[in-house]
Amino acid sequence: MDSSDPPFYETYKALFDKAAIEESRPTKREQVMFASSLEECEPPLIDLSQLDESRDCKSEIARASREWGFFQVVNHGISREILERMRREQVKVFRQPFEKKINEVKFLNFSSGSYRWGTPAATCLKQLSWSEAFHVPLADISGSDGCGSLSSTMEQFAGTVSDLANKLAEILAEDLGHKSDYFKENCLANTCYLRMNRYPPCPMFPNSNVFGLMPHTDSDFLTILYQDDVGGLQLVRDGQWFAVKPNPDALIVNIGDLFQAWSNGVYKSVEHRVVTNPRVERFSSAYFLCPFHDTVIKSCGQPPVYRNFSFREYRQQVQDDVQKLGQKVGLPRFLL
């Protein structure tokens, strides 16, 4: 590892030593869970070029959200130039020395805690995320001018992806017969987040598929992901894990927990994860459509599956569970 990489091995040496012993006698379940070769899947691919003219396009979006919880979009209106510039700036900022990145307040004018790596609460290797990220509130971006053109690039990327996220959310709301401006009123630029991810190579356990990001669901309404062609994203479908085949021309959209609760379980927030590559690093950028902290999420169907809760309460419950249990519990905490 070079000076830009977080000190994963030094910090989590005890977990790696324990895993090395367990790897010599894995259970059948662990062999399945960490299979290095999973069957590939391709979530529904939706062409948005006919979005304004075709009801079929909107129906495809709603159907994919019900059946998969994931879908891909092409002709989405975000230029290749913006996407490539975002990737270049992202690579550049992650190439900075680790000691500089952990001082994100001074380095980038981001809020304290925006730079994240590893899993502080991990008690075993399966709870460790072998990755680093800048998880940035959009309100921070306009002031983040400490690293050249990063700020303006992030701002342009977030602005265009935000428009797409709101358009998709409105379509999904309308399909349920509800007011389409709900998301414009509750999910503003200063309530959403942009996350830049880097997954360094993990050569220590090439046969174990150490998680770059441990299995989870997203705590938002919608996530829009721009990823490279390395691969590593996996999702659950019909109770089985599948590897998502990278499509360089598509953005990936997935339903978050808040949309599942708001839709009364109609749209599915699907568990997903990222596995590391032993030789190649992976980059992705994710936009999270989130409401105000005090926004109350109410199931729109009857009888309601979930009790009412605020976004603030949900985030706090997730944080408490991660600290106590080493993993997120999520929506099951709020079932009626």
pLDDT in tens, 258-296: 999 999 999 999 999 999 988 999 999 999 999 999 999
Superfamily of the domain at 34-303: B-lactam Antibiotic, Isopenicillin N Synthase; Chain (2.60.120.330)
Q: What is the pTM of this model?
A: 0.93
Tell me the C-alpha distance between 85 and 81, whole Å. Answer: 6
- Yes or no: say if 220 and 253 are a contact pair by the CB < 8 Å rule: no
Tell me the C-alpha distance between 205 and 185, whole Å. Answer: 47
Region of residue 38 (phi > 0: left; psi between -120 and 50: alpha; otherwise: beta) = beta
Residue 279 appears among annotated catalytic residues: no
Whether cis (ω within 30° of 0) applies to the bond prior to 200 is no
Strand partners, 11: none
Tell me the C-alpha distance between 115 and 82, whole Å. Answer: 23
Catalytic choice (29, 116, 282, 312): 282
Low-confidence ranges of the chain (pLDDT < 70): 1-2, 23-36, 142-148, 205-209
Q: What does the block give as tokens for 212?
A: 């770059």
Domain ranges of the chain: 34-303
Pairing, β 193-199 against β 282-289: antiparallel
pLDDT at 29: 47
pLDDT at 35: 47
Strand partners, 293: none
